[in-house]
Amino acid sequence: MASAGRRQRRKEERPGEIVEAAFEEFARSGFAATKLDDVAARAGITKGTIYLYFPSKEDLFLATVREMNRPSQENLAALTAAPQGPAMAILRSHFAFVYEQMVEDRRAREILRMLMAEVSRFPDLAERWRVEVIGPAVEALRRVVRYGIERGEFRPSAAEEFPHLLFAPVMMACTWRMMFGDDHALDRAAYLAGHLDLMERGLVRGPGEGE
Amino acid sequence: MASAGRRQRRKEERPGEIVEAAFEEFARSGFAATKLDDVAARAGITKGTIYLYFPSKEDLFLATVREMNRPSQENLAALTAAPQGPAMAILRSHFAFVYEQMVEDRRAREILRMLMAEVSRFPDLAERWRVEVIGPAVEALRRVVRYGIERGEFRPSAAEEFPHLLFAPVMMACTWRMMFGDDHALDRAAYLAGHLDLMERGLVRGPGEGE
DNA sequence: TACTAATAACTGACCAGGCAGTCAATAAGG
DNA sequence: CCTTATTGACTGCCTGGTCAGTTATTAGTA
């Protein structure tokens, strides 16, 4: 504390601190408008130091997006467990979790925004994200739907081919909040409940249906 | 044609041509990375001419977004007509139309991308878009749902409070295509059919339900 | 413990290139 | 030949990237 503001050598912590600061600036201004001097200032260092750890602005951006994506990738593992019990219960807890991750967590929203905004400059980034994050997530959802159909709980439906349809309201809430800000955010609990209600009606077998 | 490449005076057409070119460039690169020289080149003029019609780069951007939004606003009028017949039929034709507008039309997607990418730089733009375009659209959808409930076709559901839930799959398809490109686009007909199917199940009254 | 030397993390002043915005000169068109 | 839409060369600022120099830190020495 006494040395706050003084110059310090912190080889281990620097990269993380820089990425953290870079994330805030990139999220605020986008790739092109972000100034490395601002990133440095936010990290409490100078621009030169950034170049000790990252070869260029582009590399810093890539490192930032990848770093911020790590939690999502780690969370995916939990979804690959063998399903048990009612499929609808799985979906309920799954989506409660996903809302927490994507809609409530500002970082996840900003990452999405950055990816959308910079696809044309970094095409590989979007493709990588599709293959490593979104693809598996869609697949996991599809597995739950299949499981529900197999155990007779769900009727066959388009949700098997397009699990996107189930996930869509999450995306909607996410983009909504990211466009219009926290002030106009949709009421989380009511929205989630509504989402699950409509989903359930759409998926489950009717009384006299099938089998 | 004979004078192609020569300097020409075209006071009337210029603004439109410039906005058209600006749209392409802004869509490709975002606000900050777009060069006015490129916009001018695309419009077949020089940068100086742009400044005859628009006071600054920011103004050009604003004008571009507003101009590109005009069709959406005009289309809104059609949705305010008094509903007739089965509510589900209205929703079917409505969404078929919306898919055409938002998912198939590249321009609509790019506008959405631009708005999302540049909210922090142009906060007024998002707010205006919410009030003038999105708000009325949500309201129109809500009216149809209410109509369906009133005539006993639909059960009361969260779709009345959150028409967003119905619209979400459109948003999903839109962002999906804009992130991953036309190659990975979801099959339009099948996706739309699935969307409508799940929606119908979610909205309509069950056999022994209510009333 | 105190002093010195060696190491390398960090700085900040510095380019070089790029781009928004300007304006005197030019030429299209009536 | 007069008006004015258009040009294109110009300016000044900004910012990514560099690098010689500075200083925190550690290892070695007495």
Residue in A120, A172, A195 closest to B29 by CB:
A120
Q: How far from A163 is each of A118, A146, B14, B23, CA to CA, in Å? A: 26, 10, 47, 33
Give start and end residues of each alpha helix (H) in chain A.
14-33, 36-43, 47-53, 57-79, 87-99, 106-118, 123-129, 135-150, 158-161, 164-180, 188-203
The answer, yes or no, to whether residue A4 has pLDDT greater than 80, is no
The chain B residue lying nearest A121, using CA atoms, is: B29
What's the CA–C1' distance between A7 and C5, in Å? 22
| pLDDT of residue A76 exceeding 80 | no
pLDDT band at A189 (very low <50, low <70, confident <90, very high): very high
- Confidence band (pLDDT; 50, 70, 90) for B4? very low
Residue ranges and CATH numbers for the domains of chain B are 1-54 (1.10.10.60), 65-203 (1.10.357)
Instruction: Considering only the beta carbons, identify the residue of A165, A167, A207 that sits closest to B194.
Output: A165
According to the model, what pLDDT value does residue A211 have? 59
Instruction: Please give, rounded to a whole number of angstroms, the shortest distance from the CA of A6 to a CA of chain B.
Output: 33
pLDDT digits over B52-73, tens only?
A: 999 999 999 999 999 998 877 7
How much of chain A exceeds pLDDT 90, in percent? 80
Cβ–Cβ gap B179/A29 under 8 Å: no
pLDDT at A135: 93
Q: Which amino acid is at A45?
A: I
Q: Give B6→chain A minimum CA distance, Å.
A: 33
Average of per-residue pLDDT across B191-202:
98
Closest CA to B146 of B133, B136, B159: B159
Q: Which residue has the higher pLDDT, B210 or A121?
A: A121
Backbone angles phi, psi at B5, to 5 degrees: 95, -25
Two structure tokens written together for A79: 């979804």
Mean pLDDT value of segment A32-55:
98
pLDDT at B7 over 80: no
The pLDDT of residue B193: 98
Rounded to an integer, the average pLDDT of A163-185 is 96
**Per the structure block, which two tokens stand in for B22?**
């600006």
pLDDT at B164: 98
Q: Which residues of A touch B121 (CB under 8 A)?
A: 29, 33
Which tokens go with A85? 């019990």
Q: Most B CBs within 10 Å: which of A129, A132, A164, A184, as the mutation test of the B interface? A: A164
Footprint of strand C on the protein (CB under 7 A): A 7-11, 14, 40, 44-49, 52; B 3, 6-9, 34-37, 47-48, 51, 56-58
Residue B197 has pLDDT above 50, yes or no: yes
Which of A4, A30, A204, A23 has the alpha carbon at shortest distance from A116? A30
Q: Would you say how long chain A is, in residues? A: 211
Helical segments of B34-105, H only = 36-43, 47-53, 57-79, 87-99
Would you state the pLDDT for residue B207?
A: 78
Predicted confidence (pLDDT) per residue in A89-111, tens digit: 999 999 999 999 888 999 999 99
| Residue B12 predicted with pLDDT over 50 | yes
**pLDDT of A5:** 44
pLDDT at residue B2 greater than cutoff 50 = no
pLDDT at B210 (0 to 100): 62
Distance CA A125, CA A115 (A): 7
Q: What is the 3-state secondary structure (H, E, C) of B184-200?
A: HCCCHHHHHHHHHHHHH
Write out which nucleotides of chain D lie closer than 7 A to a protein Cβ. Answer: 4-9, 14-20, 23-25
Q: Which residue is nearest to nucleotide D18 (CA to C1')?
A: A48
What residues of A are in contact with residue B180 (Cβ under 8 Å)? 126-127, 130
Q: Is residue A1 scored above 50 in pLDDT?
A: no
Per the prediction, chain A carries an average pLDDT of 92
What are B42-50's contacts with CB under 8 Å, separation 24+? B43/B14, B43/B17, B43/B18, B44/B17, B45/B14, B45/B17, B45/B18, B49/B14, B49/B18, B50/B18
Query: What is the band of A6 on the pLDDT scale with cuts at 50, 70, 90?
Result: low
Strand C nucleotides within 7 Å of a protein CB: 8-13, 18-24, 27-29
Does residue A11 approach strand D to less than 7 Å at its CB? no
Most confident of A103-107, B42-46, B131-135: B42-46
Between A and B, how many residue pairs show a Cβ–Cβ distance under 8 A?
155
Looking at residue A209, what is its pLDDT? 73
